[in-house]
Structure 1
């Protein structure tokens, strides 16, 4: 029971700290880029009728109100104070939930590995999580801004899951496996999603400038690295002593004459 309590405590504290830090960094890095990208989103106007008809001005005015205004490129997205606070709140909540969830997975992996851990070793574990969850999938599907062309959401989610799981298996095999065949199979599993290729739209054209998209990728990966560094370090620090090193465990003594 004490082991479970320490595991959940470490995951909760590490998740809250890493999620809060990531939220603060994102408000200064990725959020301004997202708001800038929303200025380039184009709302498709309603389809025109096949044949022009003569309507009264009142009818035309009512029809225009029915379809609503069409936002053009560069017009921007009006955001009230309430909407801005709602965005910030949702961002923080999502980061906190993701932080606790990832911390639980990381703490469970540390426990299953059976290796001693501290803040420094926890940082290594965190960087492994960053590579598996953020860096490796970004080689095929980079973080995207609003208005960028993309394939079907279900296909992208499936590919991301396979890439992250494969990278995690590959990292674990390189760190702990001793059998060369196991390592080779794990590396193949990590490379397979990239060999198949990530789903992309037929036309990659989008309204978002390439420079803005590149800045967003850099900022997203940077905030993700900070997130995982804090998560791993805090989780390792709080779990230090949960897994004792082999040399500190009491040796099994065999009594003379025992069979």
Structure 2
């Protein structure tokens, strides 16, 4: 592959990714973001309720300490404990402010993600050797939607803020495994000629779900179940729109430039 062809393919990736990321942000602002903001209200209320119980218990502990002094608990240790307690409640992570700032960071994140997925689509199209346009690009978009959203969501559905979840590392490993096996399985089913390879592809689709996604010790969250369910539906629609737009634009610009 010469430099000119690579540059044209890169142009298709960047343009399709930027346009798709901006389009996704627009859809999210219409429905998904509103649900997230509502869930954050419940999450903050739950945190304040928990902190109020902790602060209510603190004076009782302080009273017990002063009424029963001990030489084993010097004043320096008491100050250190208080400082540690204040650090635990005052060390909140930075978050962008709601409004323009938050929307701006969302656009940057969505565009970066879309460019990465567009690069994967272009690489897959190039490896397949098939001719592609915007119509066939839509099919590639459907494949991407199945691989990167539908299959992982069967075990790890989208979660609103405040939802109890398994450890992040375990969820990331299962997500990567599921996406990889789903992509391989679909590839074998579509492109393999021998029936046993197609059967192997079908097995790959099922393996991650037989293993099972990591689950939290307790299920539930701060937000009502109805809000969590609405978030799943809204996210599924937004991602379907995103992948169709990304697939169509990638196919269109791939044919135009490459």
- The yes-or-no answer on 1:177 pairing with 2:192 is yes
Could you list the runs of 5+ residues in structure 1 that have no partner in the other structure?
56-62, 71-79, 244-259
Q: After alignment, is 20-29 or 40-49 more displaced?
A: 40-49
- Superposed CA offset, 1:93-120 (max 9, x none): 0100011110011011001100111110
SS at match of 1:53: helix
Q: Residue 110 of structure 1 is aligned with which of 98, 114, 125?
A: 125
TM-score (norm 2): 0.80
2:69 counterpart residue number: none
- The 8 Å contact of residues 188 and 200 in structure 2, kept in 1 or not, is answered as no
- The 8 Å contact of residues 132 and 167 in structure 1, kept in 2 or not, is answered as yes
What is the alpha-carbon distance in structure 2 between the residues aligned to residue 209 and residue 129 of structure 1?
31
Q: Name the count of aligned residue pairs.
A: 226
Could you list the runs of 5+ residues in structure 2 that have no partner in the other structure?
67-81, 90-94
- The 5 Å alignment of 1:215-230 reads 215-230=230-245
What is the alpha-carbon distance in structure 1 between the residues aligned to residue 163 and residue 225 of structure 2?
10
TM-score (norm 1): 0.80
What is the alpha-carbon distance in structure 2 between the residues aligned to residue 9 and residue 242 of structure 1?
7
What is the alpha-carbon distance in structure 2 between the residues aligned to residue 123 and residue 3 of structure 1?
23
Q: Residue 149 of structure 2 is aligned with which of 134, 155, 158?
A: 134
Q: Which has the higher contact order (CA 8 A, sep 6+)?
A: 2
- The 8 Å contact of residues 116 and 241 in structure 1, kept in 2 or not, is answered as no
- The 5 Å alignment of 1:191-210 reads 191-210=206-225
Q: Residue 172 of structure 2 is aligned with which of 153, 157, 171?
A: 157
- The 8 Å contact of residues 22 and 223 in structure 1, kept in 2 or not, is answered as yes
- The 8 Å contact of residues 19 and 95 in structure 1, kept in 2 or not, is answered as yes
Greater fraction helix: 2
SS at match of 1:19: helix
What is the alpha-carbon distance in structure 2 between the residues aligned to residue 152 and residue 201 of structure 1?
8
